[in-house]
Amino acid sequence: MKIKINEFWLCEDGELAPNSLRVNGRRQIQTAALLRAAAGSVFNRGNSVTTITFSVIRKHDSILEAEGYMLRHEVEIPQEGKVTFICYDSAGAEEIYYFDCGGLETTDASYCGCSTEHSYVLIGGRITTEAPV
């Protein structure tokens, strides 16, 4: 899977593929306890919010490069924008999904030797297959 915000790639196929990918969809559900009703009522109010979390491990040529990359990455990464998810079905055909106006809630970076691990939390509305304008 490949994931980018605007034109900034967070992860790509191969070595930079996402690890521990999680997708959490929430909707605003209202419950009501009606007078003398045998059971409560539930109303789906919509307002869908999807949270996607994942991490990426990047390899660097030196410890100094790894340290510098962690800081540079935090400065360069967009905080919001069009989020594009590119994945492949079992036949290898490309599937593209979007968040319009997705936000990068948190980033977390650490390093061990010449590798850095970056964890991301992306939040948006419903995931769609229609490209935002």
What's residue 44's pLDDT? 86
pTM of the model: 0.83
pLDDT at 47: 84
pLDDT of the residue at 130: 92
One-letter amino acid of 116: T
Domain boundaries, the chain: 2-124
Average pLDDT estimate for 96-123: 91
Q: Residues of 83-99 as b/e, b for ≥16 C-beta within 10 angstroms?
A: bbbeeeeeeeeeeebbb
How far, CA to CA in Å, does 48 sit from each of 42, 105, 127?
A: 16, 17, 9
pLDDT of residue 98 exceeding 90: yes
pLDDT per residue over 46-85, tens digit each?
788 999 999 999 999 999 999 999 999 999 999 999 999 9
**pLDDT at residue 128, rounded to an integer:** 92
Q: Determine the pLDDT at residue 29.
A: 87
CATH class name, domain 2-124: mainly beta
Q: For the segment 11-55, what is each residue's pLDDT rounded down to a tens digit? A: 987 778 898 999 998 888 888 888 888 898 888 887 889 999 999
